[in-house]
Amino acid sequence: MSTAAVLGWTLLSALAPGAAHLRAGWRRTGLVLLSLYAAGLLALLYLRLTADGDTLGSAVTQLTPIMIGVSVLGTAWFVLVVHSFVVLRPGRLSQRGQVLAGTLAGLLAVAVITPFGLVTQILWRSQEAFHNIFPEESGQAGAERPADPWNGRRRVNILLLGGDADGHRVGVRTDSMNVASIDLATGNTVLISLPRNLENVRFRPGTPMAARFPSGFRLPTDPGGGRSDLLNSVWEYSDAHPEIFGGRQRQGPQVLMDTIGHTLGLRIDWYALVNMWGFARLIDAIGGVTITVERDVVFGRHNEGLVKAGRRRLDGGDAMWYARSRTFSDDYTRMRRQRCVMAALLDQADPATVLTRFNGIALATKELIRTDIPHRMLRYLVPLALKVKNAEVTSVQFMPPLIHTGYPDWQKIRTITDRALKDSVKTRQVAASATPRRTPAAAPSRTATTTTTTTAAPDPSRSLTDGCGRSGGE
């Protein structure tokens, strides 16, 4: 057998295990290897055709056995290539042929095992990131899968917070507050934005904060004339005053979740706090986001920074400042820009991008998120996230003139929230649209509970991308 033939049969065995063994006369071994290979391909095809979000969700919580399986399979393939080369009896080749064939066969064996090594590394990074971000619960390891992890609920509500706590600031200021309310059946999501400067915040009756502030969250004016009793100060104030909670520390997240839930008339299930600098690193990790900047956005202590107007791909730093800057602007314009960045991330962070840039994303995510979502819920939240990706995402922003931030109409806020959630459920039931954009149709009629007739208010719900990518004023 020539050198080319030995290399050719070895290469074929890397693609179709057992081919070289059949050629070398190892008939039984060759047939077994080919049969196992065919069975494996059929199993992968079946998995590909039947896999859904639940399958991926279960896989996320079983990364260790998957890593072991991938490592074993990669090692076995490596050994197979080497053994395929050996059974072809390369020792009968000339000395030059032996050196050439051995070198190329070795390179082939390394090339075969490399993808398995990369997959194992990705799985290891994933597991490390998941365990760093999502807390474990006592007794979780042996927990069985419940029949209904949502306990009969139709929606799950997650509080998404943006903050910039670091070593130069005491406490956490939540300057971006959004509730993602997700319909479990359709994935349709309403993103509800609350302004950072909401005043006279009311706390749920019967709670320690309600006992301390029965007429709303109000503190003396700061020495510089500013206020430290706005909605974005609730977390920080609660953390700074454990005596209100009988000495219990770090009550800020729970108090803010309960307060925003009370404000909207919702039960908030979990929160996720996004560090803004980690957010910038995440955007860098996916290669930036493409956004249409309607007009120049100035930022910096001395207005030295500039994100120029136009359709452009922003790196993490510019995207963060585009989302955060209030220079020559206001909180409400900033809220809209933050929504546009969220829409761009949702649209552009596709699976291919995530996979090819996974290591950078995993490293950025470790510094990005603080959450109380338990690790066991990843099994159910992963398929829900995939459902949201293909569903309709609308938004409601509570800003003037819809509400007055100094004297909010709390009942109006709850009524608008309730209407937006009900309309979100109906969207997919009425018609399927190629683009997730709502039409400004009148609200559907409902069964009247009173005989009073009122004029319907304009629907404040809108597509997540409304107001993004248009020229003109803010």
Q: For residue range 157-210, what is the model confidence (pLDDT) as tens digits?
A: 999 988 765 544 445 778 789 999 999 999 999 999 999 889 999 999 999 999
Predicted local confidence at residue 205, as pLDDT: 95
- 459 or 10, which is more confident? 10
Structure tokens at 364: 């950025």
Residue with more model confidence, 154 or 440: 154
The overall average pLDDT reported for the chain is 82
pLDDT on residue 448: 31
Distance between CA atoms of residues 23 and 14, nearest Å:
14
User: Does 431 score more than 60 pLDDT?
Assistant: no
pLDDT surpasses 50 at 27: yes
DSSP string, 21-48: HHHTT-HHHHHHHHHHHHHHHHHHHHHH
Section 64-87 average pLDDT: 93
pLDDT of residue 350: 65
Q: Quick count: other Cβ atoms within 10 Å of Cβ 447?
A: 4
pTM: 0.71
Q: Show the beta-strand stretches assigned E in 229-380.
A: 270-275, 289-293, 297-299, 305-307, 310-314, 369-371
Contact 326, 334 (CB under 8 A): yes
Query: Residue 367 is encoded by which pair of tokens?
Result: 């510094």
Per-residue pLDDT tens over the stretch 314-350: 998 888 888 888 788 877 787 788 778 877 877 777 6
At 382, the pLDDT band (50, 70, 90 cuts) reads confident
Closest C-alpha to 270, from 384, 365, 395: 384
Dihedral angle, C-alpha 90, 94, 96, 102, nearest 10 °? 0
- Indicate whether 65 pLDDT > 70: yes
pLDDT band at 149 (very low <50, low <70, confident <90, very high): confident
If we measure between CA atoms, which residue out of 326, 295, 349, 211 comes closest to residue 474? Answer: 295
